[in-house]
Chain A
Amino acid sequence: GQQVMQIPQYQHVQEGEDFTTYCNSSTTLSNIQWYKQRPGGHPVFLIQLVKSGEVKKQKRLTFQFGEAKKNSSLHITATQTTDVGTYFCAGLRGYSTLTFGKGTMLLVSP
């Protein structure tokens, strides 16, 4: 079945440092989605990437979808304490169900 791998599992940064999480699928995806889950909260949709090589920005967050539509990354510039949480990528093949990666837990120290 479809697998979505995500690295690193955990990262601890100082406020102001950059952060990147990477997502890799075993199969070509029709789209990839990113979610953020704050501690004690539920996953919240951030963005969806559909096109090969697509890059989207949301303020300090930059999302990329690979040319082969099998990998993606989320980069946060100059992290803030409000960025704390677990970031999940989720791959969609066709119109089937989403497959979530294991997530990257981000801890930001002030």
Chain B
Amino acid sequence: SAVISQKPSRDICQRGTSLTIQCQVDSQVTMMFWYRQQPGQSLTLIATANQGSEATYESGFVIDKFPISRPNLTFSTLTVSNMSPEDSSIYLCSVRGTGREQYFGPGTRLTVT
């Protein structure tokens, strides 16, 4: 299994500002995934980030709102731009294991006021 860390673990932000979330993995991985989990809800995939190429966004998520960087095989960032209270959520990064299972980071709990 992979060990994943995320920064920050939580933040309270003003509407209209942006927050960049960092995800670090202890091994090299081809694909990294970013999920959103709203309070008491399921996990919704935002995008898949491959090293060396543009991220692939799921329906309902756009690059202008959630730009992603993937500079190397162990690191990725997700930015939540021009935030509104509806962006209050837990943001999780994950990686795929050898058997296609997923390992999740501890999450970033974002509150937008």
Which A residues are within 8 Å of any B CB, using their own CB? 1, 31, 33, 35, 41-45, 48, 88, 90, 92, 95, 97-98, 100-103
Chain A interface helix/strand/loop/mixed: strand
Q: Which residues of B contact A98 (CB under 8 A)?
A: 45, 102
Specify which chain B residues have a CB less than 8 angstroms from the CB of A95 in the assembled complex.
100
- Chain B residue contacts of A43, Cβ below 8 A: 43, 92, 102, 104
Q: List the interface of chain B (C-beta within 8 A of A).
A: 1, 33, 41-45, 48, 58-59, 92, 97, 99-107
Asked, given contacts A100-B42, A100-B43, A102-B41, whether A33 binds B48 with beta carbons under 8 Å apart, the answer is no
B102 CB contacts on chain A under 8 angstroms: 33, 35, 43, 45, 90, 98
Closest A residue to B107 by beta carbon equals: A42
**A33: B residues at CB distance < 8 A:** 100-102
A42 touches B42 (CB 8 A): no
Measured in the bound complex, the distance between the Cα atoms of B97 and A33 in whole Å is 12
Contact between B101 and A103, CB atoms less than 8 A apart: no
Query: Which residue in A31, A102, A103 is a CB contact (below 8 Å) of B100?
Result: A31
Contact indicator B104/A42 (Cβ below 8 Å)? yes
Partner of A42, one of B99, B101, B105: B105
Q: Which residues of A contact B48 (CB under 8 A)?
A: 97
Task: Choose one: B1, B42, B104, B105; the contact of A101 (CB below 8 Å).
Answer: B42
Contact B42 A103 (CB under 8 A): yes
Q: List 11 A-B contacts (CB under 8 A).
A: A1-B59, A31-B100, A42-B92, A42-B104, A42-B106, A43-B102, A43-B104, A97-B48, A102-B41, A102-B42, A103-B42
Cα A42 to Cα B101 with chains together (Å): 14
**Residues of B contacting A90 with CB < 8 Å?**
102
Nearest Cβ distance between residue B5 and chain A, in whole angstroms? 11
Bound Cα distance A31, B97 (Å): 14
Report the Cα distance A16→B40, complex, angstroms. Answer: 26
